[in-house]
């Protein structure tokens, strides 16, 4: 996973309370990650972050869920965390792909670790 340049600004804004991570998006794009990415290569679905976990020191995990109906027929190759204003924090391109036939659910857990 790579944090995009704008993601660093979003993290700083979160500390000030002016931007919040609210959604995780999934997509079918497979172009290589660059720190200048501002959106998924090909976003197909975006869901609200259903929970977050701050129980581990110096990290936060955001979780979003999709029902079988939402992902049926999709081949997921990328995902990213988004803010209320649709700024992207990060983008991860999967090494393979996830194919959904309509029987599977999807849960994306995105963990950000902070250290000196």
pLDDT in tens, 66-104: 999 999 999 999 999 998 878 899 999 999 999 999 999
The pLDDT of residue 29 is 96
Average pLDDT across the chain, whole number: 88
CB-count burial class (<10 Å; 0-12, 13-18, 19+) for 2:
middle
Each residue's pLDDT tens digit, 13-57: 665 566 788 999 999 999 999 999 999 999 999 999 999 887 777
Report the pLDDT value the prediction gives residue 40, as an integer from 0 to 100.
96
pTM: 0.85
Task: Say if CB 92 and CB 109 are below 8 A apart.
Answer: no
Q: Which residues contact 18 (CB under 8 A, 6 or more apart)?
A: none
């Amino acid at each position: 996973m790579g944090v995009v340049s704008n993601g660093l600004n979003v993290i700083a804004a979160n500390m000030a309370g002016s931007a919040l991570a609210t959604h995780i998006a999934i997509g079918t794009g497979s172009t290589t990650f660059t720190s200048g990415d501002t959106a998924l290569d090909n976003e197909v679905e975006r869901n609200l972050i259903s929970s977050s976990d701050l129980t581990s020191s110096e990290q936060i995990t955001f979780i979003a869920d999709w029902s079988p109906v939402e992902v049926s027929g999709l081949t997921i190759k990328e995902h990213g965390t988004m803010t209320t204003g649709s700024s992207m924090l990060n983008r991860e391109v999967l090494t393979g792909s996830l194919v959904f036939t309509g029987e599977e659910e999807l849960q994306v857990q995105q963990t950000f670790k902070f250290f000196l």
